Amino acid sequence: MVSPLPSIIVVTIFVLNVSSCLCSVLPTGYNTGLATWYGNETGPGRGAACGWEMDVKDLPLSAMISAGNANIFLKGKGCGHCFQISCTQPPHCSGKPITVTISDECPGACNNVPFHFDLSGFAFGKMANPGQDQNLRKLGQVNVQYNRSSVGCGRVPCNYGSTKIAFKVSQKSNPYWFAMAIEYVNGDGGVDRVEIAAGGAQSYSPMDNIWGAVWEKGIAPSFKPPYSFKLTSGDGKTLVATNVIPLNFSPGQKYASTVNF
């Protein structure tokens, strides 16, 4: 994270996607927060605390991500939530909104203010006018304003176009334990409940959310793939991703489904 300089600009952040937990602490109208950036100047950031690792640099996220403090990360329930950010202060800011996805946690000093967004260097620079991205980043930190509308907690759906929900299998998965991170969820952006079925069966059993966007299930060797999943989004919608994880899956690999919200 770059050390702040005395100059301060005002950025407007419109909340796109928050859980009911965050809604309880957000008053209506505008609030003041803080935005910073981390990593390399044009770096992609990371998805560590959500379980996405360096997938954040690839489509559809394309490094347009942000870490959030406790009121944004929500103990991992904020993973996948989308925020639209615009910067209006001349001469650095373009005034054109960008969209970022929460992919990591900003702990410690980030909680010195109620709402702190720590963007990738790449995403932070995207708020700037052409040729002004370095000058914008040199500010290090900027005061921000974000708007909570009175409808749906200001929620605007995440939209990854034609990209389907993906499941990244944990490197530690084995015949007795299966875990995966869920990525690229349209709409609400988050998943509140995950159920798994084995071998083409229609009998689903619940998985546990152990951290971030990572879900686990203790299994027996007889519980064999292909695995299907029933997902319930943060806004209560349900869909089924059938036979996503193949019989001979590889731990550490990511598998795309054919569905999204």
CA distances from 250 to 19, 89, 135, 169 (A): 33, 48, 44, 8
Work out the number of other CB atoms within 10 angstroms of the CB of residue 247.
Answer: 10
Which amino acid is located at 245 in the chain? I
DSSP 8-class letter at 129: P
Work out the number of other CB atoms within 10 angstroms of the CB of residue 51.
Answer: 23
Which amino acid is located at 74 in the chain? L
Which token pair is 218?
Answer: 């203790």
Question: Per residue in 9-46, is it b (16+ CB within 10 Å) or e — as a string?
Answer: bebbbbbbbbbeebeeebeeeebebbbbbbbeeeebbb
Q: Please, is 81 exposed, middle or buried when counting C-beta atoms within 10 Å of its C-beta (0-12, 13-18, 19+)?
A: buried
Strand partners, 86: 12
Q: CA quadruple 256, 212, 20, 238: dihedral positive or negative? A: positive
Task: Give the pLDDT of residue 93.
Answer: 83
Question: Per residue in 101-140, is it b (16+ CB within 10 Å) or e — as a string?
Answer: bbbbbbeeebeeeebbbbbbbbbbbbbbbeebbeebbebb
pTM of the predicted protein model? 0.87
Per-residue pLDDT of the chain (261 residues; tens, 9 = 90+): 444 444 444 444 444 443 444 454 444 444 667 889 999 999 999 999 999 999 999 999 999 999 999 999 999 999 999 888 877 777 898 878 888 999 999 999 999 998 899 999 999 999 899 999 999 999 988 876 664 433 234 346 799 999 999 999 999 999 999 999 999 999 999 999 999 999 988 899 999 999 999 999 999 999 999 999 999 999 999 999 999 999 999 999 999 999 999
